[in-house]
Amino acid sequence: MSESKQVSPFVFFQGWLSTWVPIVTALISLVISLYTFAVATQAPEVRLIMPDVVRIAQGGESGPYVYLQPIFVNTGQSERVEVVTSVQLRVEPVDPPGGGVDFVWDEQGTWLFDPNTQSLNWIFTADPGAFLVSANNARDFTGLFIGPKEWRFAPGVYRIHVIAQRVTARAPLAASIEVELAQADIEYLDEAQGSRFLTFPARP
């Protein structure tokens, strides 16, 4: 008769570890890889941040001007790039209420301080155009938006909306701020006829 041999629990445990640990490790690695891939390739989460100030000119022969600097930030973990194809501005009278008007993005520029006159001068830098927003690169620009020729600002409170069309989603990015123009502000802007502007603090 042959003598049966018993397998020690330690040897059995070693065999179990050598068989299942690599399998479990591979499964965990697969799950992590799939999660990382899903996060990296999902639609970018871009947020539109509105500025703290708005500069307004009443305009001469053209419509009124609004100078505004929105910021576009990718707040998600996606590595995909968002493409903003166009930016539109809409001004809506709040108090007194009235119908909103659309302003067209006309150009990009920058403000240059003139120490001799102690004033800011607008410098053209580029025409409007599409731009990219990536995870590591927020995008901002200072834009000049021109309103309808027959429309003018009047004393009151206005809500300024920025609407940005994008490639990865049908729903546009949108945000708004509120500004208030007093009677004295309007008189100054009307007299300037587009040659001078005023800076207004913006509130959410």
Q: pLDDT digits over 184-202, tens only? A: 999 999 999 989 999 999 9
Whether residues 52 and 90 share a domain: the answer is: yes
pLDDT at 170: 86
- Give the tens place of pLDDT for each residue, 110-168: 999 999 988 999 999 999 999 999 888 889 999 999 999 999 999 999 999 999 999 98
pLDDT at 18: 72
Same domain, 173 and 85: yes
Q: Are residues 137 and 90 in the same domain?
A: yes
Total count of domains within the chain? 2
Q: In CATH, what number is assigned to the domain containing residue 105?
A: 2.60.40
Is the domain of 19 the same as that of 85?
Answer: no
In order, the DSSP letters of the chain are -PPP-PPPHHHHHHHHHHHHHHHHHHHHHHHHHHHHHHHHHSPP-EEEE--SEEEEE--SSS--EEEE--EEEE-SS--PPEEEEEEEEEEEEEETB---EEEEEEEEEEEEEETTTTEEEEEEEE----EEEBTTB-EE-EEEEE--TT----SEEEEEEEEEEESS-SSPEEEEEEEEE-HHHHHHHHHHTTS--EEEE-B-
Q: Which residue has the higher pLDDT, 59 or 49?
A: 49
Indicate if the pLDDT at residue 37 is higher than 60: no
Mean pLDDT (the chain) is: 87
- 145 and 160 inside one domain: yes
- Residues 65, 107 within the same domain: yes
**68 and 11, same domain (yes or no):** no
Instruction: Provide the whole-model pTM.
Output: 0.78
Same domain as 163, residue 119 = yes
Cα separations (Å) of 121 from 72, 131, 162, 193?
A: 25, 25, 24, 16
d(CA 41, CA 34): 11
Asked if residue 113 and residue 17 are part of one domain, the reply reads: no
Clarify whether residues 33 and 85 are in a common domain: no
Q: Does 66 lie in the same domain as 119?
A: yes
Tell whether 100 and 178 lie within a shared domain.
Answer: yes
Structural domain that includes position 83: 46-201
**59: how many CB neighbours lie within 10 A of its CB?**
21
